Structure 1
């Protein structure tokens, strides 16, 4: 997925807007993000390989509930599904999930996920929350990074992504491929490969059961593969950006009153609303 506008902008709120009592540190405290949530191995993997897989992170009943809600949304929205952000040929997408059920809130407020985001980005906000389901024999993507503004040096990262697996990721149903360590290389796949849709000699498939959480540096080379089996392979994408960047989906513009009514001030800070 290619996401952000990739043009840095000044923090868009004028003085006096928002909630001046909440800053990043306070939001992290309120959401339970503590310094001991990430163990040494998780930090090592995020730093060195650029991704980490946490198997069966969600219980099966929560996975089933998320699946059911997405099915409802796909039916209800029909051809409009995904249009708040983008449509991708060969896939079924739902976007703006922040406003489509409290059930999705854990995907942008879970303390362990936010600890990972903060470790990589420092000051951050949610850029978008969406789902992706490749259709039978579709879904192949070129290797890409989620930032088009050039390849930053380590320590100056701009984006972070996460996959919440709602189906098993197998080698035949469109599992995401990644190139370990590529976030450190300082260039994009399109500048290094004659054909970014072709296999890379160092790529690995993310193979994990439903309910797993995959956290990864958004500058890591990655891409969906073809769903050869035609079986289900649905995932949620909680995508974050540095707080100084534009969001893929302007959360303040799309925020619904009923959404804001149930969100804590800390969660609203993560959304920048």
Structure 2
């Protein structure tokens, strides 16, 4: 079995970007404290308990997945804007876009008896026409529980982002992203990876917050998962990260539906929130 590089919590965006460029992924150890982990569990557990398991092998017949984390979980908002991770994402994707944006949010609980997920590249959500010269994603999996080989730690193939598309790994080329709760796996959209098999009696729970280029369609529709009536209470930086901003000179403008002469025409999304103030109950930064 291959090994995956680990970096300490006091690492730098430069070191993270270098590691992902070389290996396709890297683990940052112990980035969250126990209080943050406990709060995340409290915020997300009711939704996970109410959610049905997947209906196909890729989603996992014994795996639960929930979205809309920005709307549902104040602590997930802190993770999405974590200074180290968000800075590394912005830096890593900068050669391909003006700004990065939040691609999707999920909490994933891999249950006992779940099989290994098919190895895949996340960039496949846009089909096969996007050139490999453009890196599409900077992805994160935050460990809410310990990730072990036995409980379904994410499998990742270091270096496979540089392989020919059809090359398949041997068993000894696959690494298990084992990490303590509070650590985070960071990887790009081209590296082969997939959920692991859970042979234990315990769930393996992670929070997935992925970033992409501001000119690509997001996998999770942020404007439905976190509509304006909720987004108005968020920090402007987070709203912009979700896509409530122009993705270039004109990408993403809006006009107000309604009677002639009412509302705005061809306005930037920020104008919708001109009189909004962030929710005073927003937690401090991680």
Classify the TM-score, shorter chain.
0.7 to 0.9
Cα displacement (A) at 1:258: 5.2
**Residue from 89, 92, 98 that aligns with 1:120:** 92
Distance 1:257 1:244 in 2: 20
Distance 1:88 1:259 in 2: 31
RMSD: 2.4
In the alignment, structure 1 segments of 5+ residues that lack a partner are 1-35
**Residue from 50, 56, 70 that aligns with 2:24:** 50
Distance 1:213 1:91 in 2: 20
Distance 1:39 1:254 in 2: 29
Partner of 2:191: 220
Of stretches 86-95 and 128-137 in structure 1, the one that deviates more from structure 2 is 86-95
Cα displacement (A) at 1:215: 1.1
In the alignment, structure 2 segments of 5+ residues that lack a partner are 1-9, 245-286
How many positions carry a matched residue from both structures?
226
Partner of 1:192: 167
Partner of 2:113: 137
Deviations 1:38-79 (A, max 9, x none): 25532321110011211110001110111122212223x444
Q: Is 2:155 aligned against 1:177? A: yes
Cα displacement (A) at 1:256: 3.5
Give the secondary structure class of the aligned counterpart of 1:167: coil
Partner of 2:40: 66
> Cα distance 1:248–1:82, how it changes in 2: closer, same or farther (>3 A)?
farther
Distance 1:66 1:211 in 2: 11
Q: Is 2:82 aligned against 1:110? A: yes
Q: Is 2:221 aligned against 1:250? A: yes
Cα displacement (A) at 1:192: 2.5
> Cα distance 1:239–1:39, how it changes in 2: closer, same or farther (>3 A)?
closer
Distance 1:203 1:272 in 2: 35
Deviations 1:166-196 (A, max 9, x none): 0001121001111111112241xxx223xx8
- Deviating above 4 A after TM superposition, structure 1's stretches of 4 or more consecutive aligned residues are none
Distance 1:140 1:131 in 2: 18
Cα displacement (A) at 1:87: 5.4
Give the secondary structure class of the aligned counterpart of 1:93: strand
Give the secondary structure class of the aligned counterpart of 1:238: strand
Distance 1:236 1:217 in 2: 16
